[in-house]
Structure 1
Amino acid sequence: EQNKRAITAFTYNAGYTGMVDSLWTLGKRLKIRGIHNPFEPILQSVEEEHLYKAKESFEHAAHKIITRGTPKKLPPMIVCFLGRGKTAKGAREMFDLLPHEDITIDRLQDVFENGSRNKLYALHISRDTIFRLNKNALHLKEKYDALTPGEKRSFYGKNPRYFESNLDKVLPYITVLMNCITWSPEYPRTITKSMMNSIYKNFQTLQVIGDITCDPNGSIEFSKEMWIDDPVFIYNPLTGNIKDGFEGKGIAVMAVTNLPCEFSADASTQFSENIYPFLKNIVSADYKSTIDESGLMPDIRRAVILWKGQFTERYKYMNDYLTQLAT
């Protein structure tokens, strides 16, 4: 629409599904290792008929956390969420069904050492905490620290070369990492192979990465594209080896590329409800004329990728990809 926000999207659904599948992964992974845990009632999203059924399984898990606690073989469980967008909000909506306490980064070590096992802990961080100024930008620290949050976001967007990941301060203490941020190659990675290798030598706390955004070799350098019927791989930070499935030494990574499809009925219903107000205009448009004279509402016109077999003005750049595929 005119404010450059999507009228409809599956981002919330990706968050719902990603949170469900990440805790399902945790439950299954621990069970394979002989560690009974409160997440065993949680099924993979695709096995649930609707989202509300998954929420019921979360309520069951919540009861187990309160009454039995999380495994004593593990530290108190901290789940870290990266990003504040719709995907992260969807993931938090599911997570918030569980007994939890929100914490800040300065409390990580204390919770790791002294936290309760009858609740989970949530560390939810934004870009200005995920990343820090690198050694090439230390001369800018005083100026950067004085900026407002909005100004910091703008500075980061314009100057990604001045930043590096701050997650080496987080990963030693958390059990689950939920990656809900968008990423492109000009920006720093959140987790590199070398960072994870260094941390894993001393701290093997991290059990699961829920890579909801699923950028292969992206913000998480060792991530790769997985699918609903084969959703998880194990990454060994010490050797760099990757093994599909739930068994093996290392970190379980859930990185399904088409997560919203798992709650297909819910996702389709949401999409239909969002697009319904525009249906009359779409049906009555003149598809024999030019797109500008078609009568389509501006919101819909901006979303049209192809018109009479040709890319519209906003999407002509996609011809470059077709040319690359043809060569």
Structure 2
Amino acid sequence: MKKLKVGIIREGKVPHDKRVAFTPEQCAQISQEYPNVELVVQPSEWRSFKDAEYSNVGIKLSEDVSDCDILIGIKEVPKTELIPNKKYLFFSHTIKKQAHNRSLLQTMMQKGITMVDYECLVDKNDNRIIGFGRYAGIVGAYNGIMAYGLKYKMFDLKPAHLCHDKKELFSELDKVNLPNIKVVVTGGGRVANGACETMGAMNLRKVTPYEFLNYTFREPVYVQLHSHDYFEAKDGSPFSSYDFHHHPENYRCIFSDPHSYASVTDLLVHATFWDPRADIMFTKARMRDPDFRISVIADVTCDIDGSIPSTTKASTIEDKFYGYNPLTEEIIGSFDKEAITIMAVDNLPCELPRDASDGFGKHLIERLLPSLFGDEDHSIIDRASILRDGKLTSRFEYLKDYASLV
């Protein structure tokens, strides 16, 4: 069998991402499991794993990756660094016709590149099989707790991006001493479940939606809300998960109804997918009501001007929070007296790059590599291939006008 040479490329996009597709240990594992694959790693001064960590487990370092058959990264590859006629795997952020990456797709077409997008790695039912969502949830919830401690001068947590790994981050939570507040986590996917991991690491008690709405507690508690807990059909029919996900416009959000969740929640960790056809969680007008109790919102989804109307911009890892004044609808100081504190970092997994890389690499090894390097069904890769030799595949023909040079 022909030897397949695979390059793990450094992240060239600025600001530089510290994540990587495979950790040193995973590279060693791949080399053992796939003897027909030769792995090389492009040196990087900003990767969360040092070059020596790769060479110490027998992985070759090489600045030149032009002789590789497959090149694997994380974020978009700068256009000037794209090598013609190669097969790439990374997040291209082009499938929604993102304007800022149009020229990237055009360049890949001109250079005859085969592009496999992680975002498009789905099973036969179109469910995504790869992602960093768990760590977005873990860090997003941590940041929300951090904001609450700073806002009320209760405790001061070490910023997530300064923690070595998840273990250190969770140990920081030993500092947390919350009053009997109520926390909502929205969603039921990887992101929300990651947020619940953080709640569990604090030993926060989990309660039911009914208990959350109707009981007073002597300790801090949290609830995980699914769509059926805060959406109802406009025509009064029973909630249907299938119908809701296909026709969300037929449902009304009751999260902020009088005497509902917005009236009893102190901290909201918003960690659910939002379809623009769906109702928003609450209006700006509702945020002005005296009984709107939420004082900190960790908007993990970070849809600008989306389901959380106070998320009017993304925040950054270095400057995680900003304040929203519901009376003036203006951005103010993060912890001003009039502020609802917003956390809207849009690249949360980058705060725990070692753990996020490890989790991502495990998914790739389990779900992708048997098809990419082995003899298993290649349909997963076919479904995720936006370009093949510089031409749009049939699944992505809808990008033709977006990719046109005219």
Q: Give the TM-score range, shorter chain.
A: 0.7 to 0.9
Distance 1:265 1:174, change over 3 A: same
Query: Would the aligned equivalents of 2:165 and 2:354 in 1 still touch at CA under 8 Å?
Result: yes
Q: How many residues align?
A: 279
Distance 1:161 1:264, change over 3 A: same
Distance 1:311 1:29, change over 3 A: farther
d(CA) in 1 for partners of 2:336 and 2:401?
41
Matched, 1:282 2:372: yes
Query: Would the aligned equivalents of 1:214 and 1:256 in 2 still touch at CA under 8 Å?
Result: yes
d(CA) in 2 for partners of 1:18 and 1:261?
11
Cα displacement string for residues 123-160 of structure 1 (whole angstroms, at most 9, x for unaligned residues): 221111221344xx2xxx2xx23xxx6xx112323443
Equivalent position of 1:256 in the other structure: 345
Q: Which moved more, 1:212-221 or 1:276-285?
A: 276-285
Equivalent position of 2:130 in the other structure: 8
d(CA) in 1 for partners of 2:267 and 2:187?
15
Tell me, which stretches of 5 or more residues in structure 1 are unaligned?
32-36, 71-75, 286-294
Query: Would the aligned equivalents of 2:332 and 2:339 in 1 still touch at CA under 8 Å?
Result: no
d(CA) in 2 for partners of 1:300 and 1:158?
26
Distance 1:173 1:318, change over 3 A: same
- Give the CA deviation at 1:296: 7.6
Query: Would the aligned equivalents of 2:270 and 2:298 in 1 still touch at CA under 8 Å?
Result: yes
Matched, 1:81 2:222: no
Equivalent position of 2:280 in the other structure: 189
Equivalent position of 1:27 in the other structure: 149
Equivalent position of 2:225 in the other structure: 125
Alignment map for 1:312-323 (pairs within 5 Å): 312-322=393-403
RMSD: 2.5
- Give the CA deviation at 1:110: 4.8
Q: What SS is found at the alignment partner of 2:356?
A: helix
Equivalent position of 1:215 in the other structure: 303
d(CA) in 2 for partners of 1:167 and 1:8?
30
- Give the CA deviation at 1:300: 2.1
- What's the % identity of the aligned pairs? 24
d(CA) in 2 for partners of 1:232 and 1:299?
39
Cα displacement string for residues 201-231 of structure 1 (whole angstroms, at most 9, x for unaligned residues): x136312111111100111123122221222
Distance 1:204 1:153, change over 3 A: closer
Distance 1:309 1:46, change over 3 A: same
Structure with the larger helix share: 1
Q: When the two structures are superposed, what TM-score results if normalisation uses the length of structure 1? A: 0.77
Equivalent position of 2:139 in the other structure: 17
- Give the CA deviation at 1:246: 3.8
- Give the CA deviation at 1:79: 0.3
d(CA) in 1 for partners of 2:147 and 2:402?
36
Question: In the alignment, residue 202 of structure 2 is paired with which amino acid?
Answer: L
Equivalent position of 1:96 in the other structure: 200
Picking from 28, 46, 49, the partner of 2:161 is 46
d(CA) in 2 for partners of 1:281 and 1:162?
40
- Give the CA deviation at 1:303: 1.7
Distance 1:153 1:280, change over 3 A: closer
Equivalent position of 1:301 in the other structure: 382
Tell me, which stretches of 5 or more residues in structure 2 are unaligned?
1-122
- Give the CA deviation at 1:115: 2.0
Question: In the alignment, residue 122 of structure 1 is paired with which amino acid?
Answer: Y
Distance 1:187 1:49, change over 3 A: same
Distance 1:317 1:153, change over 3 A: same
Distance 1:248 1:313, change over 3 A: farther
d(CA) in 2 for partners of 1:320 and 1:190?
34
Query: Would the aligned equivalents of 2:136 and 2:349 in 1 still touch at CA under 8 Å?
Result: yes
d(CA) in 2 for partners of 1:239 and 1:232?
18
d(CA) in 2 for partners of 1:88 and 1:258?
16
Q: Which moved more, 1:158-167 or 1:8-17?
A: 158-167
Distance 1:273 1:155, change over 3 A: closer
- Give the CA deviation at 1:93: 0.9
Picking from 281, 284, 291, the partner of 1:203 is 291
Query: Would the aligned equivalents of 1:99 and 1:120 in 2 still touch at CA under 8 Å?
Result: no
d(CA) in 1 for partners of 2:343 and 2:156?
18
- Give the CA deviation at 1:59: 3.2
